[in-house]
A and B are shown apart, each in its own frame.
Chain A
Amino acid sequence: NAGVMQNPRHLVRRRGQEARLRCSPMKGHSHVYWYRQLPEEGLKFMVYLQKENIIDESGMPKERFSAEFPKEGPSILRIQQVVRGDSAAYFCASSPMGPPMNTEAFFGQGTRLTVV
């Protein structure tokens, strides 16, 4: 049973380009969470999605960032017009159930975005 798969593992973008990060949850998991981790900091919640629905996007920046989890295929975190401050590790987690039983969330290995 494969774990949470994120790709690419490393992504380099020039300022102003778009970054697309992909996350395939564990088999049977329909709840996906995206987190961002800046150097020397903990993970910061960005968005929580179920299939075809955004449930909680309270941690998403208001501009340039969007996320989706279509009926078929992986969840996508999209960052438009990237800036240097977007450089971070982006982690995706999935769980089989939603709140309040969502404590057992499994994380992927992350995508490390570097904006040059």
Chain B
Amino acid sequence: QKEVEQDPGPLSVPEGAIVSLNCTYSNSAFQYFMWYRQYSRKGPELLMYTYSSGNKEDGRFTAQVDKSSKYISLFIRDSQPSDSATYLCAMSARVNTNAGKSTFGDGTTLTVKP
């Protein structure tokens, strides 16, 4: 079983819809939770990161972390065609034994149709 599970999709929504992307994980040592956006044949771009449980909002994006359920979400409001990309969740532990190592989900491919 993978440490981080992410529904690969593909997910297709109409423009303006609210999008919900999710990941589950098994390693209770994870403390930092990130969401990256990756356009085709490009490098990942960090969208948001959160530490421990809670919510974080940035414009149309909201990240939620529920450590008790080992479940994280990214919500995109008023989705735009330019949001069409692959979204990767990533997590890392705090301790130095996992220094610098983030564990990624396999990504969810999102298409927003005009």
Contact = CB atoms under 8 A, between A and B. Distances in A.
B7 interface: no
B88 A45 contact: no
B99 A99 contact: yes
Interface in A62-113: 91, 95, 98-100, 102-110, 112
Contacts of A31: 100
A55 B98 CA distance: 10
Q: Name the residue among B51, B100, B106 with the largest chain A CB count within 10 angstroms.
A: B100
Contacts, number: 79
B100 A48 contact: yes
A59 B101 contact: yes
Interface size range on B against A? 20 to 34
B104 A99 contact: no
Q: Name the residue among A42, A102, A109, A110 with the largest chain B CB count within 10 angstroms.
A: A42
A56 B44 contact: no
B101 A58 contact: yes
A104 B46 contact: yes
Contact of A104 (B4, B44, B49, B88): B49
Interface in B9-35: 31-32, 34
Given A91-B44, A108-B43, A55 B100 contact: yes
Contacts of B6: 42
Interface size range on A against B? 20 to 34
A106 B107 CA distance: 18
Given A91-B44, A109-B43, A103 B49 contact: yes
A48 B99 contact: yes
Nearest to A44: B104
10 contacts: A31-B100, A33-B101, A41-B106, A43-B104, A59-B101, A91-B44, A99-B92, A99-B96, A100-B95, A112-B41
Interface of B: 4, 6, 8, 31-32, 34, 36, 41-46, 49, 51, 88, 90, 92, 94-96, 98-107
